[in-house]
Amino acid sequence: MMKIDAVDQAVDECVEAGVLEEFFNKHRKEVRNMVLTEFDEEKFLKMMREEERAAGKCDLLIEILSDFGTVSKELQNRIQNVDNDTLVHWTRLASRAESMEGFLEQIKES
């Protein structure tokens, strides 16, 4: 039996048994693709490390800026949604800034 047939059969049996019936009926294609896609642990771990580094950089920038006062939720969200190069650049700017206003002015210009 081919993998795809085995996955389809397992999903059909779950639906017939009432196990996650609504979920499998709604997401059958996604379930099939997930099960058939090979898991690359090395790639996954690399991605997790990159995400952790990015989160650490965001935390560092917010910590530097908090020396100037409260960092607004809007600015925190903006920081968390920029690319890595921008994050590094903003961290350098923040470390040289004399105030929150000065930092905000600099990132407008960059």
pLDDT of 31 above 70: yes
Same domain, 57 and 84: yes
pLDDT cut 70: percent of the chain above it: 97
What's the mean pLDDT in 27-35? Answer: 80
Same domain, 55 and 90: yes
- The DSSP annotation for 9-65 comes to HHHHHHHHHTSSHHHHHHHHHHHHHHHHSPP-HHHHHHHHHHHHHHHHHHHHHHHHH
pLDDT confidence band for 20 (50 / 70 / 90): confident
Same domain, 104 and 55: yes
Residue 1 has what pLDDT?
67
Residue 35 has what pLDDT?
78
Same domain, 25 and 45: no
**What does the mean pLDDT of the chain come to?**
89
DSSP-derived letter for residue 81 is T
Same domain, 14 and 50: no
Same domain, 23 and 45: no
What's the mean pLDDT in 39-66? Answer: 90
Q: Of 9 and 4, which is predicted with more confidence?
A: 9
Domain that holds residue 28: 3-36
Same domain, 48 and 93: yes
Same domain, 52 and 28: no
User: What token pair was written down for 37?
Assistant: 């896609």
Same domain, 26 and 76: no
pLDDT of 39 above 70: no
Same domain, 92 and 46: yes
Into how many domains does the chain fold?
2
Residue 40 has what pLDDT?
72
